[in-house]
Structure 1
Amino acid sequence: MTKRHVSLPSDAEEGLEAFLTEVDDRLSGPEDTCEVVRDTLVDLYGDREAWERWQAGGDVSPAERVRLQGYDPCNSTIESEYYAEKDEERFRRSKHLQWLWRQFDATPMADNVDFALRFRQMLADHLFEEAGENLRIFKDVSFSYGHNITVGDNTVIHDDVHLDDRGRLDIGSRVSISDGAHIYSHDHDIVDQTEVSNFHTVVEDDARVTYDAMVRAGCTVGENSVVGARAVVQGDVPAHHVVVGMPARSIAVKPGYEDVAEPVPEDGSLPNHQSDREIPYDLPDDLDVFDEFGRDVGGPVDPHERPHRR
């Protein structure tokens, strides 16, 4: 069974193309990204009159001022802004584009599928390190940064997916990631959870990560494999295998691929190569090291004396 081809009415299509072209051209040009994002959101939210009144010195209520200021990503903070090891120069622009992505998803237009998929494709071309053709990303997909993600052609990412690229995340072509899935590229130390390690995580071509599944940092989901609903992947999924459970284990090979699929142990356990895929990073020498939870974990490790990741 295939899907139906659906198109917008010609008038709506004309307006959509004009809008996408305008935003794409401005993001590709020399303008400050904050201004492009601000102007786009002011118009998407129908606040142009209030914005111009405020800019002309007119009266606005405190709530209106907060709302109008909030369209500008330079007046916002997001969670990943607090990550000490991030690339500050790359993050500045990706933060602005993330802000546009997230605020767009809060508008009614985010439910207009044809419009929204094309808008997110355009944004992904600017935000991701690499975004393939015919990339379909649905509503409320989140990222750590965005700029450490590569995605191939004809991949679909459904609602409420989290793509963590605090390390590096590569997603292949023709991949399907179902609603609520989380794919990670960073991990926390078991003793001091403020100690973070970053990894390279890969989802290879034609793989499926299904509903509410989780892929741990540093794992590879092999070509043409399937991760079952709510599975927790803690090792490498071999190509063509179907894995389920917590932790995920192989229960089958896709029919027709028995002769080319890599064998696994009888219990279906997955090999873990996370340690081979750690991405080292440097921290600023003047970093204010502290435990955000205000704890003294005690024991054999003093969190304030742990070496920086290098």
Structure 2
Amino acid sequence: MAESTVAQQPSHVVHPLPEAEELYRRWIAFLDEEFTRHQAAERRAEIVRDQLFQLYLGRPHGGKLNFTLTSELPLNVLQLSLDPGNITLEAEHYPDVDHERFARSKPLLWFWIMFDRSPIGLNHWLGIRLRCMLGRHLFAKMGKGVRIDHGVELTYGYNLSIEDGVIVRHRALLDDRAEIHIGKSAVIGNYARIYSHTHAADDYDKVIFAPTSIGERARVGTHTVVLAGTQMPDGTIVGPQGTAEEQKG
């Protein structure tokens, strides 16, 4: 993966040792090629399953599960759950989900989630590069020089557009049930919540969708909530504890 696809780092940034860095780059390049070649949901699920088996269990996928021993049931549950085809995500239950598009995204979303929860999920240098690669296959648009930190939550992925130089810090939520656009060089703070849907005041079961836009060079502070339909102008700063209300004009 080209270095330009990752957020520009200061010259003093710490790198892995050369042997590890070369291996990390090879792994990401291999995955990028696989997800580019294979668009079918079933094949993507197999790729993700095989990768997660090695990340979590330290061995390739294969062999017959023993369902007769109750002592092995937890291991069987873990093994089966590493296959995206055997898990369900909350987003699948939303009535507005585009099932065809989500089917292609789901294996990559599961890989995104499970990488972050794996023993190597806190490997910062590797993680930001892996998420950039996955973002190119998940998002409506993925710019250059983007940095997405550990634990960032997505809903569908396919309604999300991220421009060049964006930084999304750890544990932020990008709830893209409708379109979310994040402009060039914007920063989304730790634990920020960006929404594109809300509920009718008189009927909570009625969902209202409203595209949300974060302007260029805007700053969304730590723990800040950006409501559905917000149109943040370029250079706007909100937070760290405030709420960005809808801005007209």
CA separation in 2, counterparts of 1:114 and 1:43? 20
CA distance in 2, matches of 1:56, 1:131: 43
User: Which structure has the greater CA radius of gyration?
Assistant: 1
Once residues 140 and 164 of structure 1 are traced to their aligned partners in structure 2, the CA distance between those partners, rounded to angstroms, is 14
Cα RMSD, aligned residues only: 2.0
CA offset digits 1:126-161 (Å, max 9, x no partner):
111111112111111111100000001111101110
Which residue of the partner structure matches residue 15 of structure 2? 7
Mapped pair 1:163 → 2:174: yes
1:27 maps to 2:35 = yes
2:62 — aligned with what?
52
Q: Is the 8 A contact 1:136 1:156 kept in 2?
A: yes
**Identical counterparts, % of pairs:** 31
Give the C-alpha shift of residue 18 in structure 1.
Answer: 1.5
**Residue 72 of structure 1 aligns to which amino acid in structure 2?**
D
- 1:69 has 2:77 as partner: no
Look up the match of 2:53.
42
Give the aligned partner of residue 4 of structure 2. none
TM-score, with structure 2 as normaliser? 0.89
Correspondence for 2:109 among 89, 92, 98: 98
SS in 1 for 2:209: strand
Superposed CA deviations along residues 92-134 of structure 1, whole A, max 9, x for unmatched, are: 1112111100000001322111111000000001111111112
* Pair 1:57–1:86, CA change in 2 (3 A): closer
Give the equivalent residue in structure 2 for 1:87.
98
Matches within 5 A, 1:147-296: 147-236=158-247, 271=248
TM-score in terms of structure 1 length: 0.72
Q: Could you list the per-position Cα deviations for residues 260-288 of structure 1 after superposition, in whole angstroms to 9, with x for gaps in the alignment?
A: xxxxxxxxxxx4x8xxxxxxxxxxxxxxx
Secondary structure of residue in 2 paired with 1:118: helix
**How much does 1:61 deviate?**
1.4
| 3-state DSSP of counterpart to 1:229 | coil
Residue identity in the other structure for 1:10: P
Structure 1 residue 56: Cα displacement: 10
The aligned runs of 1:88-127 (5 Å cut-off) are 88-127=99-138
Distance 1:226 1:46 in 2: 44
Letter in 2 for 1:232: T
The answer (yes or no) to whether the contact 1:42–1:48 under 8 Å persists in 2 is: yes
Contact 1:23 1:40 in 2 (8 A): no
Equivalenced residue count is 236
Deviation at 1:47, TM superposition (A): 4.0
Relative to total residues, which structure has the larger helix share, 1 or 2? 2
1:54: how far off?
A: 2.9
Confirm or deny: 8 A CA contact 2:138 2:158 kept in the other structure: yes
Structure 2 contact 124–150 (Cα < 8 Å) conserved: no
Taking a change above 3 Å as real, the CA distance of residues 224 and 65 of structure 1, as seen in their structure-2 partners, is same
**2: CA distance, partners of 1:172 / 1:88:** 28
- Output the CA distance in 1 between the equivalents of 2:57 and 2:196: 38
